[in-house]
Amino acid sequence: MIIRDARVIDGTGAVHEDAAVRVDPDSGRVEAVGDAEPRGDEPAYDLDGKTVMPGLVDAHVHYSLSGEASVVSVAAMSDAELALTEAENARTTLESGVTGVRAMGARDLDVVLADRIARGNLPGPRTVANCRSITITGGHGHHLGREVDGPTECRKAVREQIKQGAQFVKFMATGGVTTPGTDPNSPAFTDAEMDALVDEAHRRGVHAAAHAHGAAGARAAVRAGVDTLEHGTFLDEETVDLLVAEDVTLVPTLSAPHHIVRNADSATDESLRKTNDVYERHVESFRLAVEAGVDVASGTDAGTPFNYHGTNAAEISFMVEYAMEPMDAIVAMTGRSAEVIGLDDAGTLESGSHADFLVLDDDPLDDVAAIGDPRTVVKGGEVVAGDGFGSGGVGERVE
């Protein structure tokens, strides 16, 4: 199949005007971008005036959560109920235009879901998953996570997860907003514990992600060698400089506090109090990081209170509103995020990459909000949501 005369944003930062994209239907991959003439009876569609861009890659989602005000109701679910909830959320995410994610796992379910999606048995984005977040006893996320204390238990927890198929390791370097009784600003693990977590992850060939709000916990995680820092809510200059020096990617998750603040009436008192304290500082931290040249990959924290699956594209709008150029924000949520989370051949439209893309009626470089309303969502060369190609759908069939 060929689509042609489209404006193609390729996820690397480049735009190809009046370009064609050839998709190999057998492999579901992009064969060529730029010029392509139909061969034999190969179908070709004219997408004049439309923009084609890679499907979004969200570097931080929680399939286990569905935007509930409190995580406590999720903790009460049976494994069966939670597994079905995760599958539903994965489908919703895909249909909104997100074709790749890094799933922050709960109760070891996400690696199973990721495998079913990869085999084509369930609809969902290509998913890089861990089993469950590793946290100190009583620490952030303990309801659905793995509580550990001491370097030996830290190593054991990493080994358990690798055994079950985790593709990365996530740990909680500070307290969190949504876990009662934890302080987002306080470091959680000791340095020795974090060293053990990161070292063991790297020895096993997977990357390490650290949840961190406070600067002291963030710095400790960076010094321990983490690959991505999640949230980075209270960053200061010292921490931002360290992120640059150590080449650590920040996943700012601006959507998370935004949705809690906007839903003040129904948020829990504790999460609202914590969020009001942090929202403005979070935006300031993000600006500081972007100005300093910190590498940014985009993730939404989808599933956290009122942060619903399927609204992931809003993160790009927040990044642009607060600090980034539209093209940089698009790359952060396509090519860059795919690379950072280890999702191979995804997030870009180049020869050999998966044919995962969106067709947009409006140019997202004029207004990135257009990305939230794709006309067509394609994964692996197949239309998975929105209009099909040709008569009655998007694009004229070229005869």
User: Taking the complex as a whole, how short is the minimal distance between the CB of residue 231 and Zn ion, in angstroms?
Assistant: 8
Q: How many residues bind Zn ion (CB under 5 A)?
A: 1
Nearer to Zn ion, 23 or 106 (CB): 106
Nearer to Zn ion, 140 or 375 (CB): 140
Q: Are 58 and 338 in contact (CB under 8 A)?
A: no
User: Taking the complex as a whole, how short is the minimal distance between the CB of residue 104 and Zn ion, in angstroms?
Assistant: 5
* Cα–Cα distance for residue pair 74/156, rounded to 1 Å: 26
User: Taking the complex as a whole, how short is the minimal distance between the CB of residue 239 and Zn ion, in angstroms?
Assistant: 19
User: Taking the complex as a whole, how short is the minimal distance between the CB of residue 46 and Zn ion, in angstroms?
Assistant: 42
Nearer to Zn ion, 60 or 375 (CB): 60
User: Taking the complex as a whole, how short is the minimal distance between the CB of residue 203 and Zn ion, in angstroms?
Assistant: 25
Nearer to Zn ion, 341 or 358 (CB): 341
* Cα–Cα distance for residue pair 315/328, rounded to 1 Å: 13
Residue found by looking up tokens 């990357």 in the block: 207
| Nearest-CB residue for Zn ion | 301
The counts of H helices and E strands in the chain are 12, 18
Q: Which stretch binds Zn ion (CB under 5 A): 15-23, 144-152, 294-302, 378-386?
A: 294-302
Nearer to Zn ion, 279 or 357 (CB): 279
> Could you say which DSSP state residue 392 is in?
T
User: Taking the complex as a whole, how short is the minimal distance between the CB of residue 334 and Zn ion, in angstroms?
Assistant: 20
Burial class (CB in 10 A: 0-12, 13-18, 19+), 251: buried
Q: Are 73 and 66 in contact (CB under 8 A)?
A: no
Give residues 299-318 in contact with Zn ion (rule: CB under 5 A): 301
Q: Which stretch binds Zn ion (CB under 5 A): 45-53, 122-130, 166-174, 296-304?
A: 296-304
E strand intervals along 312-370: 357-360
Task: Write the DSSP string, 265-311.
Answer: TTS-HHHHHHHHHHHHHHHHHHHHHHHHT--B-----BTSTT--TT-
Q: Which residues bind Zn ion (CB under 5 A)?
A: 301
